[in-house]
Structure 1
Amino acid sequence: MAPPPPPTKPIPSVQQTPLTSASGPSPPPISSNSNPNTAPTTEKPPPATTSPSAASLSLSLPTHNHPTKSRFTVRPTGESGRTGFNPKRFSKIILRSSNPASRAVNVLWPVVPVAIAIRYALPEQKLAIFILHYLAMVPCANLLGFAGQELARKVPHVIGVLTETTLGSLVEIIMFLVLILRDDDGIDYIQVIKAAILGSILATMLLCLGLCFVVGGLKRSESTFSEAVSEAGSGLLLTAGFGLAIPTVFTHSLGDRLSAEDLKSKALDISRSTAILLIIAYLVYVFFQSQTHHGIYNDIFIEEELRDTDRHKELELRRLTFTEVVVALVISIGLVTLIAINLVDKIHFLVEKRHVSDAFVGLIMLPLVEKAAEHLTAVDEAWDDQMNFALSHVLGATLQTALFNGPFVVIVGWGLGKDMGLNFEVFDLAVLLLAILTVGNFLRDQKSNYLEGVLCVLIYFAIAVAALYYPNPEHGGSDHGGPSAPVDGHH
């Protein structure tokens, strides 16, 4: 029997440094055949799935974005190249912000301490307190949005968009919670919350999207966006509108067949059940976008990032460290909460003494200041020909309000024993459904131009004018938005 051949020393694997690319993992390293009875062979690596342009995304990063050691896997566009907290650099990065529009908003930072000081030094100046706090909310919300953007750049694209949208909605959630916790002092705060829910949807869906279409159309004849983004968004918007309409339709259909107490009880039960179903729909949407269909959206966002006309400037900007992001989030959330409490305190004065319609306060004024940071971000992305990113922020924020934030405050009110439902005024619900149909029609061809943008903005202004003249409901009367709801004599 012939002796076995001498063992062949395996060829060591070539350990390649993976490209940290936003498009996904690098190709597997070259390996050898370790069978001692056969000649070693070197397998040819499969073709790289990363396109040359996507690969250049990582290779073209500036030196300061590549740290020597890192504990976390961070996307190159979000790498700071340092750790810890540097107050001087932190302040410079915060004031520089993410885009020119957002940077311009930072001139309002001196208003923040002035507003807080006047609130406690001159409490009788109620109008000045409201105006100053309204202005002070803008830079604070902008800081929260910027911190969300910095965090989003450090994680995969799809998770980043969801994270940024969620953090951007914290202002709205805090405002809703402050309103629902307020004691009844002559103003129907639940009615203000209901108007604010629909107003937030309308402000994002009509005003913000319209401005995105306008600024995108200023630099090019038309902007294009992906069918995956527009179809999923418009379909979910229609679903959300249908869900929000059910309690209102039920209330107005049976207003003359049920007693007031029975109608109120049934409407609340339907609202709470609908709220749970809408939250489930939102969680399914998040799972769909971040897990099962992650690849589709990831490829869209990678291609979109490479279309950024200001990308060379973007890569040169310094980034916040993870610690600094956490600090920025803590500061902004604390300021937003304090300002929201002081702002809500003066709604009673605005409605009772200045005769401003609570429909206008909830439908127009509060949503504008809540969504300031998200609007600035989306408009800047549209200007840079990143319409898919802009649409994702606009539709994502709209869906989060309709499917999560609004239903969430219903659940909170349920726990607090308050009659917070989803039965809206007929005027509010009608304009919401018409706006959803209008926007869905504009998104259908995956193209946009400045004409469509101007039309969306004009529709929003028309709604604002109608809300300004909309009469306040009788306190304790049309709590459910129904004309048949009786008003007790002692009110």
Structure 2
Amino acid sequence: MASNILPGHGNGHRDESTPLLPQISSHIAHEGESGRSGFHPRHFLAVLWRSSCTASKWVNVLWPLVPIAIILQFFPGLHLWKFATAYIAVIPTANLLGFAGQEFARKLPKVAGILIETTFGSIIEIILFIVLLSKHEVNAPESNGDEGNLIPIIQAAILGSILTNLLLCLGLCFFVGGLKQASQKFHAIVSEVGTGLLLVAAFGLLIPSAFYSALKAEVVPDFPGFRILHEKFTEGKLQDDVLRISQATSIALIIAFFFYIWYQASSQHSIFDEVIEMDEHRDADREADMEKPKFTMTEAIIAILIALAFVTALLIFLVEKIEHVVESGVPDQFLGLILLPFVEKAAEHLTAIDEAYGE
């Protein structure tokens, strides 16, 4: 299987047999050229409905749930209905965000386009975790996930997101791809780089936890007037130290991410160059994809902004109702480990699975 988790993307390389669209702007890569400029509502809606693939296109039938989810927020009660409609409505808006990000990325140089498209694939997660952290009550009881303590859900959602990508999506891609192809290929170098980045991220998660676990036994009671030896410290001091280590680790991970993007974008021999060229030669539908209507640069930006606004609002509605869902009997670990990762990656996984089937 040819790196189906990564977006199938090829900019800058064109075959002489490739159908040409009118070149409107010299700043737009050929594969992303729409042959138009500005904003055209009819074309915008037609391209939006087509989406990136067949499976992704039929996700658009869920768009009526978006206004329903918003309207329900103005009615008292109905907490489970509000959660359910917001949960499902995230899928088409996330699908639009992924498709618009793909259209925008295709107008850029090939490696920069892939990196931006991959980054757009993580925006839903970033927004979700920011909303969860903003709604978390710092002084909430640690043992009660339904009383403002969202940390167990956040921890479960991070783990669930990793497992969903590594197991569910990858496994479905292998299975679906095997239905049509006797053998499947994948790019070892991309897998190696991805594995290395995942290992770095895993260490980033483990370092604060390992520090806390190693020193928790050394904590002494934090009573007024209690004598504390210089080698001992209180629970409060340990928590402060763990927080500082977590912040330092997060900064290191962000720096590593930007260095990775900078290197891939500036290097003349990016690891993606050979991968892209191989995929272009093996893509039987490339010419058909080139002829499909596309967003203009303006339309792509407008679609991204619309999708971001809807996704953010729906995720806020979703998180606000988590307390009521947990009270109704849904375990917070199940909510974080299964439900949230499934919806945040649904649109991206549908595209990956469709690409795997059509390889």
Q: TM-score, normalised by structure 2?
A: 0.86
Deviation at residue 339 of structure 1 after TM alignment? 0.6
Q: How does 1:464-479 map to 2 (within 5 A)?
A: none
Contact 1:158 1:290 in 2 (8 A): yes
| Distance (whole Å) between structure 2 residues aligned to residue 293 and residue 220 of structure 1 | 33
Deviation at residue 285 of structure 1 after TM alignment? 1.8
Contact 2:44 2:295 in 1 (8 A): yes
2:22 maps to what in 1?
66
Q: How does 1:327-338 map to 2 (within 5 A)?
A: 327-338=302-313
Contact 1:187 1:348 in 2 (8 A): yes
1:99 maps to what in 2?
53
Contact 1:288 1:294 in 2 (8 A): no
Q: Paired residue for 1:316, among 283, 286, 291?
A: 291
Contact 2:11 2:108 in 1 (8 A): no
Instruction: After superposition, give the CA deviation of every residue in 1:369-413 in whole Å (9 maximum; x if it has no partner).
Output: 11122212222222233xxxxxxxxxxxxxxxxxxxxxxxxxxxx
Contact 1:66 1:76 in 2 (8 A): no
1:343 maps to what in 2?
318
Where do 5+ consecutive residues of structure 1 fail to align? 1-21, 25-53, 386-491
1:3 maps to what in 2?
none
Q: Paired residue for 1:275, among 227, 233, 250?
A: 250
2:125 is aligned with 1:150: no
Instruction: Report the residue type matching 1:182 in the other structure.
Output: K
- Count matched residues: 328
Contact 2:59 2:95 in 1 (8 A): yes
| Distance (whole Å) between structure 2 residues aligned to residue 324 and residue 95 of structure 1 | 14
Q: How does 1:26-425 map to 2 (within 5 A)?
A: 55-56=14-15, 59-63=16-20, 65-67=21-23, 69-70=24-25, 72-120=26-74, 122-182=75-135, 184=137, 186-258=147-219, 259-292=234-267, 294-352=269-327, 354-385=328-359
Q: How does 1:418-457 map to 2 (within 5 A)?
A: none
| Distance (whole Å) between structure 1 residues aligned to residue 96 and residue 235 of structure 2 | 46
Instruction: Report the residue type matching 2:22 in the other structure.
Output: H
| Distance (whole Å) between structure 2 residues aligned to residue 294 and residue 213 of structure 1 | 29
Identical aligned residues as a percent: 48
Instruction: Report the residue type matching 1:255 in the other structure.
Output: K
Q: Which has the higher contact order (CA 8 A, sep 6+)?
A: 2
Q: How does 1:9-24 map to 2 (within 5 A)?
A: none
| Distance (whole Å) between structure 2 residues aligned to residue 103 and residue 222 of structure 1 | 28
Instruction: Report the residue type matching 1:60 in the other structure.
Output: S
| Distance (whole Å) between structure 2 residues aligned to residue 338 and residue 23 of structure 1 | 33
| Distance (whole Å) between structure 2 residues aligned to residue 202 and residue 293 of structure 1 | 34
Contact 1:75 1:156 in 2 (8 A): yes
Contact 1:168 1:373 in 2 (8 A): no
1:45 maps to what in 2?
none
Contact 1:23 1:302 in 2 (8 A): no
Contact 1:308 1:384 in 2 (8 A): no
The Cα RMSD (Å) is: 1.9
Q: Aligned with 2:294: secondary structure?
A: coil
Deviation at residue 183 of structure 1 after TM alignment? 5.2
Contact 2:11 2:30 in 1 (8 A): no
| Distance (whole Å) between structure 2 residues aligned to residue 96 and residue 380 of structure 1 | 14
| Distance (whole Å) between structure 1 residues aligned to residue 149 and residue 191 of structure 2 | 37
Instruction: Report the residue type matching 1:105 in the other structure.
Output: V
Deviation at residue 55 of structure 1 after TM alignment? 4.7
Instruction: Report the residue type matching 1:343 in the other structure.
Output: L
Query: Relative to 1, partners in 2 of residues 1:252 and 1:183: Cα closer, same or farther, differing over 3 Å?
Result: closer
Deviation at residue 196 of structure 1 after TM alignment? 1.9
Instruction: Report the residue type matching 1:107 in the other structure.
Output: V
Contact 1:193 1:362 in 2 (8 A): yes
Q: Aligned with 1:219: secondary structure?
A: coil
